[in-house]
Amino acid sequence: MNDYCVISSNCISGFWYRDVVGKEYEIPFIWSIVRLSDMLTLIREFDTIDFENSVAVMSKGELKRNDGDEWAKVVVDGKINVYFVHFKEDKELDKEVKVGISVFSPDVLAYTEQAWKRRSSRIPYGKKRVWVFWDDAINTNVDLEEFISISEDRKDELFVLFTPETDKTSRENLIVLPITDYNDVPKHAEDLKTALKKFENGQSSIL
């Protein structure tokens, strides 16, 4: 399990590193959301993206969620938006306070930028990449076939699609897993662990 570098479009990667493999975050996409269009760019250009060329800014109205629409985001190399929906600003605090997976900071942009730079310096370029896309309301009307198609061209990487669509099936280096509870991402991180173990063991039936 430690041989995989898990990069996800939502918080699964955070639960993967913290709870499944229990190790220091080795990617900057922890507790964040990446939309499919940006995820595809990330997959295609990962080795040439300048992750240090980044800036933290506030976004408004770019994600539609029940608990608000203004978030700190990091714009990476001028082409990829990474939304940190668990980083929140509280001007009355003197320092950062962690509550579960959320962080409250007196300066959310400074905290976001620092966290990004610290974690992006650890990216393990030599590890096998596992790309995890979570099909949810934030990504409505996207063409999942693009994610599936790119997996066919990149046999040296592994792709995982969490989706409620029952017509999607696993194939060579694509694992399709059902979303059974949108609010229970930790459980689905365990589902990912089980699926990867089966994949490692060469089991043809992944689900």
Model pLDDT for residues 101-128, shown as the tens digit of each residue: 999 999 999 999 999 999 999 999 989 9
Read off the pLDDT of residues 129-156 as tens digits, 9 standing for 90 and up: 999 999 876 665 577 888 999 998 888 8
Per-residue DSSP letters for 166-178? TT---BTTEEEEE
Q: What's the alpha-carbon Rg for the chain, to the nearest Å?
A: 17
Instruction: Grade residue 17 by pLDDT with cuts at 50, 70 and 90.
Output: very high
Coil vs helix vs strand at 19: helix
Contact 34, 9 (CB under 8 A): yes
* pLDDT of 139: 61
Say what the pTM is. 0.90
Stretch 157-184: mean pLDDT: 90
* pLDDT of 204: 46
Query: Which residue from 202, 182, 152 is spatially nearest to 12, judged by alpha carbons?
Result: 182
Say which residue, 143 or 76, is predicted with more confidence.
76
Please give the structure tokens belonging to residue 153. 């061209």
Say which residue, 4 or 99, is predicted with more confidence.
99
Rounded Cα gap, residues 145 and 169, in angstroms: 12
